[in-house]
Amino acid sequence: MIRRVVLVQFSGDATAEQIERFVETVKSFPKMIPEIKSLSRGLHMNDGDDSVAFSHVSQFDFETMEDLQRFLTHPVHLEAIKGIFADVVAKRAVVNYQV
């Protein structure tokens, strides 16, 4: 199994509505992209460390690297990247690893 973890920092001018649209878009992926075996996501829980730059995290699981590649090139994912993600994401970090 391949796990993909995506950390996101939103732009300073991103509105609450835009961030909610981003969240709902990510949550909708498993219904539209069958290669996603599971998705969990959440918000950073502040522990007092002000150096943390990312507020949202998403964790995707895939059976194979090929499934991950199909997700990355899926039209639904590509549309989100060009749309709401481009509008609100200032920075992201991604890690893929075998579970």
Query: For 18-73, how does the pLDDT look when each residue is reduced to its tens digit (9 = 90+)?
Result: 999 999 999 999 999 999 999 999 988 877 776 777 989 999 999 999 999 999 99
Q: How far from chain centre, in Å, is Cα 16?
A: 17
pLDDT of residue 48: 75
Number of neighbouring beta carbons within 10 Å of residue 40: 10
- CATH 3.30.70.100 holds for 2-45+53-98: yes
Domain boundaries, the chain: 2-45+53-98
pLDDT of residue 44: 85
For residues 10 and 8, give the distance between their C-alpha atoms in angstroms, rounded to a whole number: 6
Distance in Å from the first CA to the final CA of the chain = 5
Does residue 15 register a pLDDT over 80? Answer: yes
Query: Which H/E stretch holds residue 74?
Result: none
For residues 62 and 97, give the distance between their C-alpha atoms in angstroms, rounded to a whole number: 10
